[in-house]
């Protein structure tokens, strides 16, 4: 029976962004008889929760999150060499909209969502609205996330909900974030929520989908 202390070293390596250290700790756990699912729940989920808590109380930076995200993906790859397990949570469509070519923030959201077991449909940067909505509909997304670094995409963001409604996709939530979009309110952008940070956005996704933080079975 594993207790939480068994995962401390893995959690620390993940939070330090130490990919090789994290992969080694995961291997040690495997050798001790811990199965992949326990490693994900006790190690990866715990580390993401701690990173979330840290980013809430301290100023966070993208580098730290990227390094932790890379370490998480390294562990998942080591645990599942033939490919990651099927996502167990909601499908999320991500994009930076047409005219916005910045995708660093979007990519970080993607990494965190993947690490938390979400299925992510990445529609890329400079993405036309029609393309985003087509893909979201085709892939059965429950949520659309739009990352925006420039204010000029705001008129496009405002069109998303009406376009979804026109297709009858009234249950699909729309979340906005990023340096430009987070200056505006949800009402102004005509979206369901405006996230102040990646973890704020992920919390909204967890809440709005009614999916508990633990990985569903």
30 versus 70: smaller Cβ distance to another protein: 70
212 vs 153: CA distance, rounded Å: 32
Binding interface with another protein (CB under 8 A): 17, 59-64, 66-67, 70, 99-101, 104, 107, 126, 151-152, 154, 179-180, 183-184, 188
208 vs 185: CA distance, rounded Å: 18
CB 132 within 8 A of CB 123: yes
28 vs 38: CA distance, rounded Å: 13
> Residue 154 CB, nearest distance to another protein (Å)?
7
89 versus 182: smaller Cβ distance to another protein: 182
60 versus 208: smaller Cβ distance to another protein: 60
7 versus 199: smaller Cβ distance to another protein: 199
84 vs 98: CA distance, rounded Å: 31
> Residue 43 CB, nearest distance to another protein (Å)?
21
> Residue 9 CB, nearest distance to another protein (Å)?
20
2 versus 67: smaller Cβ distance to another protein: 67
Record the tokens describing residue 90, joined without a space: 């909601």
Dihedral angle, C-alpha 60, 66, 67, 68, nearest 10 °: 80
CB 26 within 8 A of CB 75: yes
Main-chain dihedrals φ then ψ at residue 123, nearest 5 degrees: -90, 5
> Residue 66 CB, nearest distance to another protein (Å)?
6
């Amino acid at each position: 029976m594993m207790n939480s202390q068994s995962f401390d070293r893995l959690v620390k390596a993940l939070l330090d962004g130490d990919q090789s250290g994290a992969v080694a700790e995961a291997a040690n756990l495997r050798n001790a008889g811990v199965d992949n699912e326990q490693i994900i729940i006790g190690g990866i989920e715990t580390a993401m929760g701690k990173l979330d808590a840290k980013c809430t109380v301290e100023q966070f930076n993208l580098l730290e999150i990227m390094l932790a995200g890379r370490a998480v993906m390294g562990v998942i790859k080591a645990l599942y060499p033939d490919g990651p397990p099927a996502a167990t949570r909601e499908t999320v469509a991500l994009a930076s909209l047409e005219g916005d070519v910045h995708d660093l923030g979007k990519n970080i959201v993607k990494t965190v969502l993947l690490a938390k077991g979400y299925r992510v449909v990445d529609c890329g940067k400079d993405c036309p609205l029609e393309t985003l909505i087509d893909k979201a509909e085709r892939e059965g997304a429950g949520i659309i996330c739009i990352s925006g670094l420039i204010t000029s995409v705001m008129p496009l963001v405002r069109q998303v909900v009406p376009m979804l409604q026109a297709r009858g996709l009234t249950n699909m939530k729309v979340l906005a974030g990023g340096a430009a979009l987070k200056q505006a309110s949800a009402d102004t952008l005509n979206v369901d929520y405006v996230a102040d940070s990646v973890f704020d956005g992920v919390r909204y996704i967890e809440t709005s989908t009614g999916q508990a933080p633990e990985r569903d079975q």
